[in-house]
Amino acid sequence: MKPYYEDDSVQLFHGRCEDILPGLSLTGSVHLLTDPPYFKVKDNDWDNQWSKSAEFLDWMGEWLDLAKPHLSPDASVWVFASPALTSAVESVVAQRFRVLNSVRWVKQGSMAHRASIDSVRSHISFWEGIVFAEQSDDEPETVAAPIGAYIRSERERSGVSRTVIQALFPSVNGNTTGALSNWEIGYNMPSREQYATLRESMGEGFLSRDYDELVAEYVALRREFEDQRRPFNLKDRKRLGDIWDFPSVPPYAGRHVCEKPVGLLTHMIETTTRPGDTIIDCFAGSGAVLDVARQLGRKAVGIEMDEHWCKQATKRLSQQTFDLEALGA
């Protein structure tokens, strides 16, 4: 398969994603961030390929099944959806991935704000849905299970009861805490002083491993744990919630009818992927996802069936810099 456009970070393929996806060969951490057709929201042919929503949803499942094997165990999955079908799209995604959020991207500038009250028979949706999911069902739960198992087996071997040890680590109010349970599961590690207290409580010949050696093992396990986990690097407290207000891309001649703004994509990519990771966009349109991914030091693989948009995306990707303001950052 020859890409329509290629550079060190981006590959763009011209064709239907159903045909292109099976031929991709990707390695490393691979995520999915894509903005598929919505089903009869836009006048464009690409949004009117199905007569019933059920057919559209079946098709959503088909291409998601083709994308899934390319995604790494730590993958983030983002799928845009129309207000009317966000919950249905969410359940199609949920049959294949673990859904974490159904974000509402609220568009204050929407034309719908101008609708006359007399002409409506229900509320108007000023938002677009974005389903966020992860590939893995079995994210590692504990940072340092082997260290936890060591502490637990030493306690059991010493014959000192949990109650006796728990009493040594009360809360500020004197109540029992979950500290011992957390150490024994491997959620975290006792401090140097707490380790010394544990050792003393168990007696001579128990917990003989050196504390610094355990810390070094913990640091290595923590690194491994973070590598296996889906990234979530939220930088801005303002974005903690799942209702977003990023401005849309202002109209300009030749704009893709669904072009996604740089600010929104920057937030999604920075938070849920790492530099050097790869992002698949099965519906690349103007190339916005590919462009922002590349600007943020990620790799990207795009697929677009409309050659006009492959050309436009190529133009955009061939520019070394972009005008953030014009693109709605």
Ligand X SMILES: C[S@@+](CC[C@H](N)C(=O)[O-])C[C@H]1O[C@@H](n2cnc3c(N)ncnc32)[C@H](O)[C@@H]1O
> Which residues sit at the interface with ligand X, rule CB under 6 A?
16-18, 35, 37, 46, 256, 258-260, 282-283, 285-286, 288, 303-306, 309
Considering the complex, state which of residue 12 and residue 75 has its C-beta at the smaller distance from ligand X: 12
Task: List, in order, residues 6 or more apart from 214 with CB less than 8 Å away.
Answer: 147, 150, 189, 195
Shortest Å distance, C-beta 62 to ligand X: 10
Considering the complex, state which of residue 189 and residue 258 has its C-beta at the smaller distance from ligand X: 258
Return the C-alpha torsion angle 275, 97, 185, 175, nearest 10. 100
Considering the complex, state which of residue 185 and residue 310 has its C-beta at the smaller distance from ligand X: 310
What's the DSSP call for residue 250? P
Shortest Å distance, C-beta 113 to ligand X: 22
Considering the complex, state which of residue 35 and residue 277 has its C-beta at the smaller distance from ligand X: 35
Shortest Å distance, C-beta 52 to ligand X: 17
Residue number with the smallest Cβ distance to ligand X:
285
Collapsing DSSP to helix, strand or coil, 101 comes out as: strand
Considering the complex, state which of residue 256 and residue 267 has its C-beta at the smaller distance from ligand X: 256
Shortest Å distance, C-beta 305 to ligand X: 4
Between CA 210 and CA 195 the distance in angstroms is 10
Considering the complex, state which of residue 16 and residue 157 has its C-beta at the smaller distance from ligand X: 16
Shortest Å distance, C-beta 276 to ligand X: 23
* Nearest alpha carbon to residue 268 among 310, 298, 224: 298
Shortest Å distance, C-beta 13 to ligand X: 9
**Count of residues making up the chain:** 329
* Nearest alpha carbon to residue 283 among 317, 256, 262, 252: 256
Considering the complex, state which of residue 107 and residue 260 has its C-beta at the smaller distance from ligand X: 260
Between CA 321 and CA 256 the distance in angstroms is 19
Neighbours of 21 (CB within 10 A): 23
Tell me if 164 sits within 8 A of 180, measured CB to CB. Answer: no
Determine the straight-line distance between the first and last CA of the chain, rounded to whole angstroms. 33
Between CA 249 and CA 245 the distance in angstroms is 12
Shortest Å distance, C-beta 309 to ligand X: 5
Between CA 122 and CA 124 the distance in angstroms is 7
